[in-house]
Amino acid sequence: MNTIKVTIKDHLSLITLDRGKSNALNREMITELNDILNNISTDPNIGGVIIAGKEPFFSAGLDLIELYNYNEAEAESFWHLFLNFVANITAFKKPLVAAINGHSPAGGCVIALACDYRVMAEGKYIIGLNEVPVGIIVPNSIFNLYAFWIGTANASRSLLEGKLFSPEEALQIGLVDELVNPASIITAAERKVRKYMGMERNTWEQSKLSIRKDLITSTSADQSEALAVMLKQWWAPSTRSILKTIIDNLQKK
């Protein structure tokens, strides 16, 4: 695998996002994450998973530079791939904890939202869904994932203004569950996931799936209609202009 690293210790899998400086999510990375989660879901020897980034980024979200250059067919297939990945990680039945050791906006936040528990590093980091100011329409399935943790009213307000939270704000609103010193983040994540792994496995997994029933229905439903609306705006001159400005700024850094 080129974009993630996987280590296994005492039935626990640590997936480290490892693509460039910011762990921007492209087609290859999402495919590799999907594949490893599918493999782990059927492996009886692995009882739980931690997903971590590498300081100062958990993941900066989707790779806008790569996406911007896609043609219409490539863009449509990518967004299908991403939404299928969201459905897959939302329905992943084993304990899944995010060790958010850096910035986690947009797609990075979506990965964290799909986990059962989020440990975030203290520091000058940001997390949240900031797609609207970028010109990207967020599908209802992803909004539901946001609202699942922070409530419909908070999710609505935050999404419509593209709010990005500091770690302290994220803890206060329920977007993350625990703040720790960056050096302790894997230890804290492992403590939580092993607590889950210590429960009777089938009871824990079936309870998770039951709690998430509506979320799983939402993310696994046919996304064609939402995708058509999203793609129409993706190709709109106003969105292309915003994306071009963002990309130009990224490439200057």
Query: What confidence tens digit (pLDDT) does each residue in 197-220 have?
Result: 999 999 999 999 999 999 999 999
Does some domain include residue 13?
yes
Which residue segment(s) compose the domain that 49 sits in?
4-198
82 lies in some domain? yes
Residue 179, domain member (yes or no): yes
Residue 91 lies in a domain: yes
Q: Please report whether residue 224 resides in a domain.
A: no
Any domain includes 209: no
Residue 66 lies in a domain: yes
Residue 89 maps to a domain: yes
C-alpha 127/C-alpha 111 separation (Å) is 11
Q: Which of 129, 136, 88 is nearest to 105 (CA)?
A: 129
Supply the DSSP symbol for 136.
Answer: -
Tell me the C-alpha distance between 34 and 36, whole Å.
6
CATH code of residue 16? 3.90.226.10
For 98-153, the pLDDT digits (tens) are 999 999 999 999 999 999 999 999 999 999 999 999 999 999 999 999 999 999 99
Q: Which residues are 25's β-sheet partners?
A: 62
Burial group, residue 160, by CB count within 10 angstroms (0-12, 13-18, 19+): exposed
